[in-house]
Amino acid sequence: AGVSLPGPGYEVRFNYGDKPSQYFLLQYGFVPTNNPGECVEVALHLRKADPLRRRKLALLERHELSPRARNFHFFPRRLDRDLLAATRIQMMSEGDLGDPAATAAAVAGA
């Protein structure tokens, strides 16, 4: 038994989901005019010369914010809390890394 198809003039809709415009362009060949999912992927890197690099990477990994495992998103109209938390950790001083309250405040955005 076959599936009956609608007749001529029937409107077919497809939900592409919440994706950035770069994905639409590369996958489907067009860019939506008003895209609520618009964002730019951001890859963070800790400076190799940072003497606190290992401690910061361990903290990022503990909170699933490791730049080795993921990218972050920069949205035009909202803030990616994970990006904010990862940036805070990258900017921490040695004193901040040893202070549980400062560490908790840094990852509060995660």
> What rounded mean pLDDT belongs to the chain?
89
- The predicted pLDDT at position 87 comes to 93
For 30-66, the pLDDT digits (tens) are 988 888 888 888 888 899 999 999 999 999 999 999 9
pLDDT at 110 over 70: no
User: Which positions ≥6 away from 69 have C-beta within 8 Å?
Assistant: 61
Write out the H or E segment, with its range, that includes residue 104: helix 100-106
**Stated length of the chain:** 110
List the domain boundaries for the chain. Answer: 7-38, 39-109
- The predicted pLDDT at position 79 comes to 86
- The predicted pLDDT at position 109 comes to 59
Query: What pTM does this model have?
Result: 0.71
